Amino acid sequence: MVVCELQVVHFDIPPYINQSAVPKRVCFKTISYRHMCRFQAKSLYEQPILAGLQYVWRLDDDSYITSPIGYDVFRLMRDRGIQYGFATVVSDYGPCVVGLWPAVTDYMRQRAIRPKFRWPRSRIFWNNFELSDLDVWRSPEYRDYIDYIDRTGGIYYHRWGDATIKTVAVTLFVPKNRTYHFKDIAYKHRRRWKP
């Protein structure tokens, strides 16, 4: 039996953001895109619909699995202790992360933390396909980090993307041996892709 649940989500610019300083477009994206980035990086994990779940698999509406998967991805994650799974790594777009790295550096200095593993700043886990253990995003460490990042306003002022914000978080809070590259899943992400 397949169970389908839907939940309505409302987007607003947080009250601590100076709305008059938020550009209508930045890095080619409107406010609605930045709402999505904030939701995917922060608010998603606060949704009641996820209560009782251990793992989530994010696929965007223009994501395609192009051939059958011969195993249970969630069982693989559980059995191997994987906390974060990805299919693709891409280059980040520098103009869209203006100010993020100084904010991350300040955060790490204030909390006296070091990354669990080194990762090139110019590369991100493309989280249009992302499997994760919800304990990562529900942890006090991640909640503290995302609240800090969110309060800087960079998502709205500069269009800091959820992929970049979460890639940094994975390097800060997840040991590298608990990440997994799902190379064997035939995955495409394109609005114009046709089977």
Measured from the Cβ of residue 146, the count of other Cβ atoms closer than 10 Å reads 20
How confident is residue 193, by pLDDT bands cut at 50, 70 and 90? very low
The distance between the two most distant Cα atoms of the chain, rounded to a whole number of Å, is 51
Q: Dihedrals φ, ψ of 124, to 5°?
A: -135, 150
So what's the pLDDT on residue 194? 46
Measured from the Cβ of residue 142, the count of other Cβ atoms closer than 10 Å reads 21
Domain-by-domain residue ranges, the chain?
26-189
DSSP string over 36-94: HHHHHHTGGGG-GGGTT-SEEEEE-TTEEE-S---S-HHHHHHHHT--EEES-EEE--G
Taking only the tens place, the pLDDT of each residue in 59-98 is 988 888 999 999 999 999 999 999 999 999 999 998 999 9
Q: What is the pTM of this model?
A: 0.93
Taking only the tens place, the pLDDT of each residue in 121-139 is 999 999 999 999 999 999 9
So what's the pLDDT on residue 8? 85
So what's the pLDDT on residue 13? 95
Which residues, 6+ apart, have CB-to-CB distance to 162 below 8 Å?
36, 37, 38, 39, 40, 41, 127
The domain over range 26-189 is classified in CATH as 3.90.550.10: yes
Measured from the Cβ of residue 168, the count of other Cβ atoms closer than 10 Å reads 24
- Is residue 59 within 8 A of residue 129, CB to CB? The reply is yes
